Amino acid sequence: MLLHPGVIALVIGSGIVLLLILFASATGIRIINRWDIKSSSEEQLDLERKTYLISTLVQYTLLFEIISLFLFIYTADDMHNILAGAMCATGSFNANPYGFPALYVKVISLFISAAWIAVNYIDNKAQDYPLIRMKYKLLLFILPLVLSEYILEIMDFRGIDPNVITSCCGVLFSEGGIGIASSLASIPVVPMVIIFYSLFAIVIVSGISVIRSGSKFYTIFFALVSGIFFIVSIASVISFISLYFYQLPSHHCPFDMLQAEYYYTGYPLYFSLFMGSFFGMMTGIIELFKHIPSLSSVIRLIQRKWALIAVCSFALFVAITLIPIIFLPFSLRGY
């Protein structure tokens, strides 16, 4: 199935990302080995110039990764027509064992490249580039991710055979099935609602404490809770939030809400969730760099800013989930 226009676009896009990261990593290895801020040799000057190139490359990589993630979901959704039994993106992801892993790796590499840009941003705030080695080691970590993403994607599309009967979302997320996705859907709604909203309250309170006091305990705690909240939110989307969006007690698909039929509500929903979780987790991660003298005051300011962004994004996310619950006539009370 490699001749589908969406597949061609994805394979070209991921190939370009792979090339960019490959080039950046090759240069990164040189920086890890040869970097010496005190030296004024020609090589050091050259390396300092190369840092600009690498940060530009990673920034574009992130941009392309975002486009390619949505394109991947869209292509999966578009392909459900040619797969017997598949009714939406979930069915196409499920058509062979590489679909979901490819999606997961895409999300992870999106997070990691965003984290790289965040670390780079902090590093550039200090005069002596204290994080430079750590930064380029992180870059070397992106390379295998992008590579496996490329391979998984190609395996997935090669493996999609238009005649295979796949389980569509109606089967995959139905309560009787086995596997992670279906066990999420079968989580009883009431406990899930309670966990979701109480965790949201904890996230908001801890976020506000980070903004106000900024002690080490709060930031680490906030980062942890943000991470957990991300997972709980995805589980809640599958378990009950999607039901309200589709107004159907049996439709658990997390991808359909990206479609025009549901007014593209998935985009602001997932965007705010990703933003919140990313900035929430990053406030805790950069706590590790606070001991570096040239960074400690900068990090304090950045932590407050990022915690604020995270809290606002999470609030927006929950507000979006509440819109159909409050304003649409659908109710889960009978279930």
Partner 1 sequence: MSINRHFNILDYTLQSLLRRKFKNIGIIIVFTFVIFITGSVLLLSYSFKKEAMLMLKNSPELIIQKTMAGRHELIPVGISSEIMKIPGVSKVEPRYWGYYYDSLIKANYTILASGESLSANNRLLKGRLPGINENNTAAIGRGVSEARFLNTDSSISMQTAGGRPMDFWITGIFEADSELLTSDLIVISRADFMKLFGIPEQMATDLAVTVSNETETVVIAKKILSQFPDTRPILRSEIIRTYDAVFGWRSGLILTLFSGALIAFIILAWDKATGLSAEEKQEIGILKAIGWETSDVLEMKFWEGLVISLTSFLIGIILAYIHIFFFGASIFAPALKGWSVIYPNFKLAPYIDFYQISILMSLTIVPYIASTIIPSWKASITEPDIVMRG
CB nearer to partner 1: give 22 or 202. Answer: 22
* Residue 41 binds partner 1, judged by CB under 8 A: no
* Residue 176 binds partner 1, judged by CB under 8 A: no
* Residue 9 binds partner 1, judged by CB under 8 A: yes
- Go through 274-296 and write b for each residue having 16 or more CB atoms within 10 A of its CB, e for each that does not: bbbbbbbbbbbebbebbebeebe
Own/partner contacts of 326-334, CB < 8 Å, gap of 24 or more, are: 328/244, 328/247, 329/247, 330/243, 330/244, 330/247, 332/189, 332/240, 332/243, 332/244, 332/249
Burial class of residue 301 (count of CB atoms within 10 Å of its CB; 0-12, 13-18, 19+): exposed
End-to-end CA distance of the chain: 41
CB nearer to partner 1: give 87 or 295. Answer: 87
Task: Select the span of 56-64, 224-232, 241-249, 311-319 touching partner 1 (CB under 8 A).
Answer: 56-64
Yes or no: say if 68 and 45 are a contact pair by the CB < 8 Å rule: no
Q: What are phi and psi of 176, to 5 degrees?
A: -85, -10
Which of 35, 60, 129, 262 touches partner 1 by CB under 8 A? 60
* Residue 132 binds partner 1, judged by CB under 8 A: no
Which of 20, 126, 142, 169 touches partner 1 by CB under 8 A? 20
CB nearer to partner 1: give 128 or 191. Answer: 128
Query: Residue 40: helix, strand or coil by DSSP?
Result: coil
CB nearer to partner 1: give 74 or 271. Answer: 74
Which of 40, 42, 49, 326 touches partner 1 by CB under 8 A? 49
CA max distance for the chain: 74
Q: What are the C-alpha distances in Å from 145 to residues 16, 35, 142?
A: 14, 25, 5
* Residue 268 binds partner 1, judged by CB under 8 A: no
* Residue 291 binds partner 1, judged by CB under 8 A: no
The candidate with the shortest Cα–Cα distance to 321, out of 220, 226, 193, 159, is 193
**Exposure on the CB side of residue 128, measured as CA atoms within 13 A:** 8
Burial class of residue 60 (count of CB atoms within 10 Å of its CB; 0-12, 13-18, 19+): middle
Task: Select the span of 9-17, 238-246, 293-301, 322-330 touching partner 1 (CB under 8 A).
Answer: 9-17
The candidate with the shortest Cα–Cα distance to 308, out of 172, 202, 236, 210, is 210
In the block, residue with structure tokens 């000057």: 45
* Residue 38 binds partner 1, judged by CB under 8 A: no
CB 204 to partner 1: min, Å = 28
Binding mask 133-152 for partner 1 (x = CB under 8 A): --------------------
Yes or no: say if 303 and 238 are a contact pair by the CB < 8 Å rule: no
Which of 19, 37, 201, 328 touches partner 1 by CB under 8 A? 19
* Residue 250 binds partner 1, judged by CB under 8 A: no
CB nearer to partner 1: give 71 or 132. Answer: 71
Distance CA 59, CA 142 (A): 13
Task: Select the span of 7-15, 108-116, 149-157, 249-257 touching partner 1 (CB under 8 A).
Answer: 7-15
* Residue 83 binds partner 1, judged by CB under 8 A: yes
* Residue 81 binds partner 1, judged by CB under 8 A: yes
* Residue 164 binds partner 1, judged by CB under 8 A: no
Number of residues that bind partner 1 (CB under 8 A): 37
Which of 21, 47, 62, 71 touches partner 1 by CB under 8 A? 71
Site residues (CB under 8 A) for partner 1?
A: 2-10, 12-13, 16, 19-20, 23, 49, 52-53, 56-57, 60, 64, 67-68, 70-71, 74-75, 78-79, 81-84, 162, 260, 264
